[in-house]
Amino acid sequence: MAESTHQSSYWEDQSFLQSDVLIIGAGIVGLSTAAELLERKPDLRVTIVERGLLPSGASTRNAGFACFGSLSEILADIDAFGEDIALATLQARVTGLKRLQQRVPETAMDYQQHGGYELLSAAQMPLLAQLDRINQLLMPIFQAPVFRRVEAKINEFGFADNRVNALLFNPFEAQLHSGMLMRWLLKHVQSLGALVLTGAEVQRFRAEQDGVHVELSSQDRNWTLRSEQLALCTNAFARALLPELSVTPGRGQVLITEPIADLRWQGTFHAEEGYYYFRNIDQRILLGGARHQDFAGETTTEFGDNPIVSQALDTFLHQVISPNKQLRIAQRWSGIMAFGETKKPIVKRHDERTVIGVRMGGMGVAIGSSVAVQLADLLLA
């Protein structure tokens, strides 16, 4: 029988406290893993435990780019991690995006294929010499060139032409509405029979002979749930439960402007190896990033503002994207990403009852569904 500090009832034990798979974390990875499991095995008893009232990590606080890497970012990743790892990670993002599109109707996540762009500065112009090489490398994945130069659009879009020396276009990139996506996924897994418990933080878990015992605290009391298997999908927060994991949190700041009547462009945009990113949404500009302006300050699992980063975002907005225009900021927020020695996620079996799918490397919208497929494979093996 499942225990708790208060006695649980027979009914609670039977219907709520036992499962075949318990997933910790209701972000895109946790929910997609639940979907993957229940789509394959409808009778499985799946419980998802989420510490927030809403999913409270990155999945409801990101920028909603359906992307796999800009030219400068791919080149930087090849330099840092080697061609094999960089390409395998990129391929996993592309596969993840395909899986996401198979599962979620485009209208349910407002998926819009406006394409993506990268702004290159004067200092980055030498990267253009690598354009053909990278297009060739990606040819087996896309069967067409991915990046092409579209400099005429720099003025058309109203960007600062003294700061933007080249503009690249990637027709394979898209954007989506992260709130709609997450709400759809939540509804989807519940319609498939998953039990979603929110406002409940897992404190610890341990494998026993009769299953894995998961201790969680909620506002009313502490509970212990028992499950045949466990999936840890807590991304940046993974070390709170498994301190040995190589996961470094990276906070990301985002701002959104008030609606702009004459916004001249649509699409997803990257600059400075992906450290700045912006897009259109509802006639507004959503801009995020600048973490590289204060790496130390943003290496945290705490949500919150960072004046250095906010200032850098404001400067980028007013000096590069919309020079000479005073745009009003409507809202700012932060979310927490997870990084490691490479951008490859950690997807592995931890012990005979537990699997781990964490460290999305800042691109979990894309790679999250790929990780879910791998986790479901491990859990159902």
Ligand X SMILES: Cc1cc2nc3c(=O)[nH]c(=O)nc-3n(C[C@H](O)[C@H](O)[C@H](O)COP(=O)(O)OP(=O)(O)OC[C@H]3O[C@@H](n4cnc5c(N)ncnc54)[C@H](O)[C@@H]3O)c2cc1C
State in angstroms the smallest separation of the CB of 279 from ligand X: 8
State in angstroms the smallest separation of the CB of 55 from ligand X: 4
State in angstroms the smallest separation of the CB of 170 from ligand X: 14
Closest residue by beta carbon to ligand X? 57
State in angstroms the smallest separation of the CB of 254 from ligand X: 5
Region of residue 193 (phi > 0: left; psi between -120 and 50: alpha; otherwise: beta): left
State in angstroms the smallest separation of the CB of 239 from ligand X: 10
Per DSSP, 344 falls in state S
100 is a site residue for ligand X (CB under 6 A): no
One residue of 138, 368, 369, 375 binding ligand X per CB under 6 A: 368
Q: Which stretch binds ligand X (CB under 6 A): 36-44, 61-69, 141-149, 321-329?
A: 61-69
- Could you give the CA distance from residue 122 to residue 150 in angstroms, rounded to a whole number? 16
- Could you give the CA distance from residue 148 to residue 249 in angstroms, rounded to a whole number? 33
Count the alpha carbons within 13 Å of 131 in the hemisphere toward its beta carbon.
17
Taking the C-alpha atoms of 297, 298, 302 and 308 in order, what is their torsion angle to the nearest 10 degrees? Answer: 60
| Contact (Cβ atoms closer than 8 angstroms) between residue 11 and residue 158 | no
In the chain, beta strands by DSSP E: 18-24, 46-50, 65-66, 116-120, 148-149, 166-170, 174-175, 195-198, 200-208, 211-218, 222-232, 248-257, 268-271, 276-281, 284-289, 329-339, 346-351, 354-358
Residues 181-210 that bind ligand X (CB under 6 A): 201-202
Taking the C-alpha atoms of 31, 32, 33 and 36 in order, what is their torsion angle to the nearest 10 degrees? Answer: 130
One residue of 23, 24, 94, 189 binding ligand X per CB under 6 A: 24
Residues 329-348 that bind ligand X (CB under 6 A): 335-337
Question: What is the total count of residues that contact ligand X (CB under 6 A)?
Answer: 44
Residues 246-305 that bind ligand X (CB under 6 A): 252, 254, 288
Q: Per the structure block, which two tokens stand in for 204? A: 């610890």
One residue of 172, 362, 378, 379 binding ligand X per CB under 6 A: 362
Residue (30 or 267) nearer to ligand X, CB: 30
62 is a site residue for ligand X (CB under 6 A): yes
27 is a site residue for ligand X (CB under 6 A): yes
Residue (51 or 284) nearer to ligand X, CB: 51
Residue (64 or 211) nearer to ligand X, CB: 64
Among the residues of the chain, which ranges form H helices? 10-15, 28-40, 71-81, 83-103, 131-142, 153-156, 178-191, 295-298, 307-316, 364-380
One residue of 8, 170, 234, 354 binding ligand X per CB under 6 A: 234
Question: Taking CA 272 as the corner, what is the angle to CA 271 and CA 276, rounded to the nearest 5 degrees?
Answer: 55
State in angstroms the smallest separation of the CB of 210 from ligand X: 22
How many CB atoms neighbour CB 308 within 10 A?
12
Residue (168 or 233) nearer to ligand X, CB: 233
172 is a site residue for ligand X (CB under 6 A): no
Query: Angle, nearest 10°, between helix axes 83-103 and 364-380?
Result: 80
363 is a site residue for ligand X (CB under 6 A): yes
Residue (154 or 202) nearer to ligand X, CB: 202
* Positions that interact with ligand X (CB under 6 A): 24-30, 49-52, 55-59, 61-65, 67, 201-202, 233-237, 240-241, 252, 254, 288, 335-337, 360, 362-366, 368
